[in-house]
A = this chain, B = another copy of it.
Amino acid sequence: MKKALTSGLAGAAALAGAAFAEPADRAAVEKVLSTYETALNAKDVETIIALYADDGVFMPQHSSPQVGRAAVREAYRRVFAAITLDIEFHVDEIEPLSATWAFARTRSEGQVTVNATGQSAGEANQELFLFRRTDDGKWKIARYIFSTTNPPRQ
Protein backbone atom coordinates (compact mmCIF):
# COMPACT_ATOMS: atom_id res chain seq x y z
CA MET A 1 0.00 0.00 0.00
CA LYS A 2 2.80 2.36 0.88
CA LYS A 3 4.41 1.72 -2.48
CA ALA A 4 1.11 2.07 -4.34
CA LEU A 5 0.41 5.31 -2.51
CA THR A 6 3.87 6.59 -3.39
CA SER A 7 3.25 5.72 -7.05
CA GLY A 8 -0.05 7.50 -6.83
CA LEU A 9 1.59 10.58 -5.38
CA ALA A 10 4.20 10.51 -8.09
CA GLY A 11 1.41 10.18 -10.64
CA ALA A 12 -0.41 13.13 -9.16
CA ALA A 13 2.78 15.18 -9.16
CA ALA A 14 3.31 14.30 -12.82
CA LEU A 15 -0.26 15.30 -13.63
CA ALA A 16 0.15 18.59 -11.80
CA GLY A 17 3.64 19.19 -13.24
CA ALA A 18 6.77 19.29 -11.09
CA ALA A 19 6.61 21.46 -7.99
CA PHE A 20 8.22 24.89 -7.88
CA ALA A 21 11.90 23.97 -7.62
CA GLU A 22 14.19 25.73 -5.18
CA PRO A 23 16.62 27.17 -6.03
CA ALA A 24 16.25 26.66 -9.82
CA ASP A 25 12.81 28.20 -10.40
CA ARG A 26 13.52 31.08 -8.04
CA ALA A 27 16.77 31.78 -9.88
CA ALA A 28 14.88 31.70 -13.19
CA VAL A 29 12.38 34.27 -11.92
CA GLU A 30 15.22 36.45 -10.58
CA LYS A 31 16.86 36.24 -13.99
CA VAL A 32 13.67 37.50 -15.69
CA LEU A 33 13.65 40.46 -13.29
CA SER A 34 17.30 41.35 -13.85
CA THR A 35 16.91 41.00 -17.62
CA TYR A 36 13.86 43.26 -17.43
CA GLU A 37 15.81 45.89 -15.46
CA THR A 38 18.65 45.92 -17.99
CA ALA A 39 16.30 46.02 -20.99
CA LEU A 40 14.21 48.81 -19.47
CA ASN A 41 17.28 51.00 -19.02
CA ALA A 42 18.45 50.12 -22.56
CA LYS A 43 15.00 50.78 -24.14
CA ASP A 44 15.27 47.26 -25.55
CA VAL A 45 11.65 46.58 -26.48
CA GLU A 46 12.17 43.18 -28.10
CA THR A 47 14.05 41.75 -25.11
CA ILE A 48 11.23 42.96 -22.86
CA ILE A 49 8.55 41.49 -25.13
CA ALA A 50 10.31 38.12 -25.07
CA LEU A 51 10.00 38.13 -21.26
CA TYR A 52 6.20 38.37 -21.49
CA ALA A 53 3.77 35.49 -21.94
CA ASP A 54 1.81 35.58 -25.20
CA ASP A 55 -1.28 36.70 -23.31
CA GLY A 56 0.65 38.83 -20.83
CA VAL A 57 -0.86 42.05 -19.47
CA PHE A 58 1.14 45.23 -18.82
CA MET A 59 -0.61 47.78 -16.61
CA PRO A 60 1.39 51.01 -16.84
CA GLN A 61 0.41 53.97 -14.72
CA HIS A 62 -1.61 56.60 -16.65
CA SER A 63 -2.73 54.00 -19.20
CA SER A 64 -5.43 51.40 -19.51
CA PRO A 65 -4.26 47.75 -19.25
CA GLN A 66 -2.35 46.52 -22.31
CA VAL A 67 -3.44 42.96 -23.06
CA GLY A 68 -1.37 40.61 -25.24
CA ARG A 69 2.04 40.89 -26.83
CA ALA A 70 1.16 43.33 -29.64
CA ALA A 71 -0.43 45.85 -27.27
CA VAL A 72 2.39 45.40 -24.74
CA ARG A 73 4.99 46.07 -27.45
CA GLU A 74 3.27 49.30 -28.53
CA ALA A 75 2.99 50.45 -24.92
CA TYR A 76 6.74 50.05 -24.31
CA ARG A 77 7.48 51.84 -27.59
CA ARG A 78 5.37 54.76 -26.40
CA VAL A 79 7.10 54.76 -23.00
CA PHE A 80 10.59 54.77 -24.53
CA ALA A 81 9.65 57.46 -27.05
CA ALA A 82 8.65 59.68 -24.13
CA ILE A 83 11.20 58.89 -21.40
CA THR A 84 14.62 57.40 -20.69
CA LEU A 85 15.05 55.41 -17.49
CA ASP A 86 18.07 54.75 -15.33
CA ILE A 87 16.68 52.68 -12.50
CA GLU A 88 17.51 49.76 -10.25
CA PHE A 89 15.12 47.13 -8.95
CA HIS A 90 15.09 45.86 -5.40
CA VAL A 91 13.31 42.53 -4.84
CA ASP A 92 11.19 42.55 -1.66
CA GLU A 93 9.86 39.02 -2.19
CA ILE A 94 9.54 36.20 -4.70
CA GLU A 95 6.94 33.62 -3.72
CA PRO A 96 5.87 30.43 -5.51
CA LEU A 97 2.08 30.08 -5.82
CA SER A 98 2.06 26.66 -7.50
CA ALA A 99 4.27 24.61 -9.80
CA THR A 100 3.58 27.03 -12.64
CA TRP A 101 2.85 30.38 -10.97
CA ALA A 102 4.88 32.74 -8.82
CA PHE A 103 4.81 36.39 -7.91
CA ALA A 104 7.42 39.01 -7.19
CA ARG A 105 7.00 42.23 -5.25
CA THR A 106 9.68 44.77 -6.01
CA ARG A 107 10.58 48.44 -5.74
CA SER A 108 12.61 50.45 -8.22
CA GLU A 109 14.45 53.71 -7.91
CA GLY A 110 16.54 55.97 -10.09
CA GLN A 111 16.21 58.73 -12.65
CA VAL A 112 13.70 59.40 -15.40
CA THR A 113 14.56 61.82 -18.20
CA VAL A 114 11.87 63.33 -20.39
CA ASN A 115 13.22 62.94 -23.92
CA ALA A 116 11.47 66.02 -25.29
CA THR A 117 12.96 68.39 -22.72
CA GLY A 118 16.01 66.60 -21.34
CA GLN A 119 14.64 67.26 -17.86
CA SER A 120 15.50 64.61 -15.25
CA ALA A 121 13.76 63.75 -12.01
CA GLY A 122 13.87 61.13 -9.29
CA GLU A 123 11.75 58.07 -10.06
CA ALA A 124 10.51 55.61 -7.43
CA ASN A 125 7.98 52.87 -7.98
CA GLN A 126 6.62 49.68 -6.48
CA GLU A 127 5.78 46.70 -8.66
CA LEU A 128 3.81 43.46 -8.56
CA PHE A 129 4.71 40.79 -11.14
CA LEU A 130 2.84 37.54 -11.76
CA PHE A 131 4.97 34.91 -13.51
CA ARG A 132 3.78 31.77 -15.28
CA ARG A 133 5.93 28.81 -16.28
CA THR A 134 5.19 27.92 -19.88
CA ASP A 135 5.05 24.36 -21.23
CA ASP A 136 8.70 24.58 -22.30
CA GLY A 137 9.73 25.39 -18.72
CA LYS A 138 10.42 29.10 -19.17
CA TRP A 139 9.11 31.66 -16.65
CA LYS A 140 7.28 34.54 -18.32
CA ILE A 141 5.66 37.75 -17.13
CA ALA A 142 1.92 37.06 -17.11
CA ARG A 143 0.72 40.24 -15.37
CA TYR A 144 2.67 43.32 -14.34
CA ILE A 145 1.58 46.53 -12.63
CA PHE A 146 3.50 49.34 -10.98
CA SER A 147 2.72 52.61 -9.27
CA THR A 148 4.80 55.52 -8.09
CA THR A 149 5.83 55.71 -4.45
CA ASN A 150 6.70 59.40 -4.81
CA PRO A 151 4.32 61.91 -3.19
CA PRO A 152 1.74 63.51 -5.52
CA ARG A 153 2.89 66.51 -7.53
CA GLN A 154 1.59 69.69 -5.90
Contacts and interface: CB of A to CB of B under 8 A. Distances in A.
Contacts of A130: 97, 103, 128, 130
A119 interface: no
Contacts of A101: 97-98, 101
A145 interface: yes
Interface stretch (A33-41, A46-54, A56-64): A56-64
A6 B148 CA distance: 50
Interface in A52-78: 57, 59-65
A15 B16 CA distance: 13
A149 interface: yes
Nearest to A12: B12
Contacts of A60: 147
Secondary structure at the A interface, as helix, strand, loop or mixed, is mixed
Interface in A136-154: 143, 145-153
A9 B6 CA distance: 9
A153 B98 CA distance: 40
A84 interface: no
A8 interface: yes
Contacts of A13: 12
Contacts of A24: none
A65 B12 contact: no
A26 B71 CA distance: 28
Interface string A116-147: 00000000001110100000000000010111
A43 interface: no
